[in-house]
Amino acid sequence: MADSSLLADASIRLETALKYVNISEDAIERLQYPKASVTVSIPLRLDDGSLKIFRGYRVRYDDTRGPGKGGVRYHPNVSLDEVESLAFWMTFKCALMNLPYGGAKGGITLNPKALSKHELERLSRGYISAIADFIGTDVDILAPDMYTNATVMGWMMDQYSIIQRRITPGVVTGKPISMGGSQGRETATSVGAFQVINTLLPKFDQSPERTTVAVQGFGNVGAMLAQLLSQVGYRVVAVSDSQGGIYAPQGLDIPSIRRYKMSSRSLQAVYCESSVCNIVEHEVISNAELLNLKVDVLIPAALEKQITVENADQIQAKYIFEVANGPITSDADSILEKQGIRVFPDILVNAGGVTVSYFEWVQNRSGLYWTSEEVNQSLKERMTVETEKTWSIAQEFGVSMRTAAYIHALNRLGEAMDAKGTRDYFQSSQ
Ligand code: NAD
């Protein structure tokens, strides 16, 4: 096992699920280690003419079921350990969703807010030049993650095409539509999470009108998900970003807050009529306070390790849907379970993004593009099917949804690994 805390913690979930699956020792051994990791130094000429070197990473955790697939994160905390953990989660997420991919992830350690747009473009292109031999349409496919978006993906695809001297849209997903992106990709993670929530909450007789929700992280995914939930009657009472949160027990007007946040970059409980926004009564809360609110549903949609042994016993929500990757540590899981809090795991809840990335890749390879209705319909179907299968496994073995999700993914991964392996040959020739 790699000697890194985040990856080691991620692997504990794997160990719990192994008790319930019948896969070979070979497959288990292989799943303990990332297949390949590269660390690169990316030189960037800053706008003032000086040179600065940035650290970048790309990790392919496993590619037994298909090419590596995973996003690229720009954040000051990006490290090899974090990228390996994220690549590990991608491996299980793709298997869980039955996508023909392995798992990968990448990132650059930087504060994206400190760079100009031109500097960000040069750095993104420099990252692709540095890892070009390690990626490819049938090798390892990139996508957006925290602080990267369609524009960044467009630069990356263009740079790779320049290096290859041919247009290669399939090497990156989450691109602008005009460069071969898919309809519905920007909202896919939120639409997928929304579908999971709507499939699971009725099993607990929890109807939208009787459900209060708090969302940590009002970014691409969290803000859209809050909007989708409020549109069908859930009462979203608190949201937050890196600066802190806002709380209004009577419920927040999410479309107004989204518009206000986009124009001002700050969070306020507001009500907007055309371009005029009035501030309405609300409480300013910290991110820690948001996590501890007495709500029905808590949605961490920001960073990993937000619920740990330090604060798990203060959580009062009944259900937690993990939209961020790894927001709950494994030791916090058991505390939450003892309190009777139901946790629905990241590898299922946030899998809508990679699912529509897969649809984008299919469209790029076939040259035939789908309507947003076709994308959203296929996404909803796939999310529902895999959510129901995971739920059935949880009922069958009497385990948490997290363990059930790993069992489901492990069965598919183990089968593929054993199909490729040589173990049977040696056993039969003895
Ligand atoms: P984003 O960068 O658009 O948004 C992140 C949000 O979190 C921002 O509002 C930011 O202000 C806030 N934030 C940062 N630090 C915070 C803190 N300490 N406390 C509270 N809020 C904080 O990113 P995103 O694309 O919305 O991704 C959010 C999470 O969802 C990440 O964990 C990402 O890995 C995961 N995810 C994203 C996708 C996708 O398609 N974008 C897919 C799967 C998983």
Question: Tell me, what CATH number does 249's domain have?
Answer: 3.40.50.720
Q: Does ligand 1 have an atom closer than 6 angstroms to the CB of 135?
A: no
CA 422 to chain centre: 34
What's the rounded Cα separation, in Å, for the pair 141 and 120?
Answer: 20
Domain finish residue from 170, 199, 221: 170
Q: Is the pLDDT of residue 218 over 50?
A: yes
C-alpha 222 – ligand 1 centre gap (Å) = 7
Residue 274 confidence (pLDDT): 79
Residue 423 confidence (pLDDT): 63
For residues 274 and 339, state if they share a domain: yes
For residues 149 and 204, state if they share a domain: no
Paired sense of beta strands 140-144 and 68-75, if any: parallel
Residue 420 confidence (pLDDT): 82
Q: Is the pLDDT of residue 378 over 80?
A: yes
Could you tell which of 146, 182, 287 is best to mutate to test the pocket of ligand 1, judged by most ligand atoms within 8 Å of the CB? 146
Look at residue 307 and tell me if it is in a domain.
Answer: yes
Look at residue 364 and tell me if it is in a domain.
Answer: no
Helix extents (H) in 31-116 = 80-96
Domain finish residue from 349, 377, 393: 349
Query: What pTM was computed for the model?
Result: 0.93
Pick from 68-82, 263-277, 390-404: least confident: 263-277
For residues 213 and 338, state if they share a domain: yes
Q: Is the pLDDT of residue 328 over 80?
A: yes
C-alpha 181 – ligand 1 centre gap (Å) = 21
Look at residue 20 and tell me if it is in a domain.
Answer: no
Share of the chain above pLDDT 70, in %: 97
C-alpha 311 – ligand 1 centre gap (Å) = 20
Look at residue 271 and tell me if it is in a domain.
Answer: yes
End-to-end CA separation in angstroms for the chain? 30
Q: Are 306 and 243 in contact (CB under 8 A)?
A: no
Amino acid 39 reads T
Look at residue 81 and tell me if it is in a domain.
Answer: yes
Q: Is the pLDDT of residue 318 over 60?
A: yes
Q: Are 317 and 293 in contact (CB under 8 A)?
A: yes
CATH of the domain at 77: 3.40.50.10860
For residues 339 and 245, state if they share a domain: yes
Mean pLDDT across 208-228: 96
Q: Is the pLDDT of residue 428 over 70?
A: no
Count of structural domains, the chain: 2
Q: Does ligand 1 have an atom closer than 6 angstroms to the CB of 323?
A: yes
Q: Does ligand 1 have an atom closer than 6 angstroms to the CB of 370?
A: no
For residues 107 and 232, state if they share a domain: no
Q: Does ligand 1 have an atom closer than 6 angstroms to the CB of 417?
A: no
Look at residue 250 and tell me if it is in a domain.
Answer: yes
Mean pLDDT across 409-422: 88
Read off the pLDDT band of 425 (50, 70, 90).
low
Mean pLDDT across 151-173: 98
What's the rounded Cα separation, in Å, for the pair 299 and 189?
Answer: 13
Q: Does ligand 1 have an atom closer than 6 angstroms to the CB of 240?
A: yes
For residues 104 and 193, state if they share a domain: no
Query: Hey, whose CA ends up nearest to atom 15 of ligand 1?
Result: 242
For residues 226 and 152, state if they share a domain: no
Q: How many C-beta neighbours within 10 Å does residue 295 have?
A: 24
CA Rg value for the chain: 21
For residues 148 and 201, state if they share a domain: no
Mean pLDDT across 244-271: 93
Q: Is the pLDDT of residue 386 over 80?
A: yes
For residues 239 and 101, state if they share a domain: no
Q: Is the pLDDT of residue 205 over 60?
A: yes
For residues 238 and 342, state if they share a domain: yes
pLDDT in tens, 94-103: 999 999 999 9
What's the rounded Cα separation, in Å, for the pair 63 and 65?
Answer: 6
Read off the pLDDT band of 316 (50, 70, 90).
very high
Look at residue 332 and tell me if it is in a domain.
Answer: yes
Residue 8 confidence (pLDDT): 82
Domain finish residue from 109, 141, 170: 170
Q: Which atom of ligand 1 is nearest to the CA of 243?
A: 11
For residues 45 and 148, state if they share a domain: yes
Q: Is the pLDDT of residue 3 over 50?
A: no
Mean pLDDT across 89-117: 97
Read off the pLDDT band of 48 (50, 70, 90).
very high
What's the rounded Cα separation, in Å, for the pair 183 and 195?
Answer: 18
DSSP conformational letter for 249: T
Residue 2 confidence (pLDDT): 39
For residues 212 and 328, state if they share a domain: yes
What's the rounded Cα separation, in Å, for the pair 70 and 106?
Answer: 7
Instruction: Please give the structure tokens belonging to residue 93.
Output: 């997420």
Instruction: Please give the structure tokens belonging to residue 101.
Output: 């991919």
pLDDT in tens, 264-300: 888 999 988 877 888 898 999 999 999 999 999 999 9
- Which are the catalytic amino acids? 105
**Tokens 């540590």 map to which residue?**
329
What's the rounded Cα separation, in Å, for the pair 188 and 194?
Answer: 10
CB proximity list for 429: less than 8 A, separation 6 or greater: none
Look at residue 381 and tell me if it is in a domain.
Answer: no
Q: Does ligand 1 have an atom closer than 6 angstroms to the CB of 216?
A: yes
Q: What residues make up the domain containing 267? A: 188-349
C-alpha 193 – ligand 1 centre gap (Å) = 14
